[in-house]
Amino acid sequence: MRGRVSIIGLGPGNSAQRTPQATQVLAQVTDLVGYGPYVQRVDAPEHVVRHSSDNREELDRARHALDMAQAGRHVGVVSGGDAGVFGMASAIFEAIQNGPAAWRSLDIEVIPGVSAVLAAAARLGAPLGGDFCIISLSDNLKPWPVVLQRLQLAAQAGFVIALYNPRSKARPWQLGEALAHLRHYAPATAPVAFARAIGRADESVKISTVAEADAEWADMSTLVLIGCAASHVIERPDGQEPWIYTARTVAAP
């Protein structure tokens, strides 16, 4: 029996934002592998075996999934958002590159999902209307000076910047340092949005500026979106939440 690994993006958390393809494939798997909260998010039949693990065990998780697929199982490896954006897809292929040759004969498919940055952008208006980039503030897999350098270059280039993994109990200081660093390179009045748990019952949005943004407004469920000189806030009447959009046109330097 030929095994299969389906690497599935679950979307930002609201089942309405999960793609029909992801739902279809989830109904076919024999096993679910992933970070505990993501595995528990899936409403699967009783015969599906769940294999939950800690958030920092991506390569071990990937190898386990590949071993089960080699034994003929159809393994669903799940990630929040899109599995290819700071998710399990890269861990699976890294394991394949450095693992047994037999893994290269397995059927591997990546099922796209709605990434958190897309859900947040849709909630805010159109902040990704121009060029943008996504940077993870986690320094688990890259040195912190590299993070700061990338933030600087992105701000100097005029990109809208989406920050993943902005703040956790183990890393409470990094977002504050990142915002302080960006104040040297990004326009002080550029909008900054703290989009938390978008699509879920406890979602919240707070809009500020580069000059006034406070790291205390974020946790690991928050996506921080930092605008550029071409980003604008459209105020609305009667206390309605404003829109943020980034102009499509960029002036010549």
Instruction: Give burial (CB, 10 Å; 0-12/13-18/19+) of 72.
Output: exposed
Residues forming beta bridges with residue 246, ordered by sequence position: 231
Q: What pLDDT does 245 receive?
A: 98
CA distance 150 to 135: 8
Q: What is the DSSP letter of 175?
A: H
Residue 253 has a pLDDT of 78
| Amino acid present at 145 | P
Backbone angles phi, psi at 189, to 5 degrees: -95, 0
- Look up tokens 């071990």; give the residue: 60
The first and second tokens of residue 43, run together, are 């409403």
pLDDT tens digits, one per residue of 207-249? 999 999 999 999 989 999 999 999 999 999 998 999 999 999 9
Look at residues 225, 224, 243, 226 and name the one whose alpha carbon lies nearest to residue 234. 243
The three-class DSSP label of residue 161 is strand
| Half-sphere CA count of 173, side-chain side, radius 13 A | 1
pTM metric for this prediction: 0.93
Cβ pair 189, 149 in contact under 8 A: no
Strand partners, 79: 9
pLDDT surpassing 70 at residue 96 = yes
DSSP labels for 48-66?
SEEEEE-TT-HHHHHHHHH
pLDDT at residue 8 greater than cutoff 90: yes
- Summarised one tens digit per residue, pLDDT across range 106-130 is 999 999 999 999 999 999 999 999 9
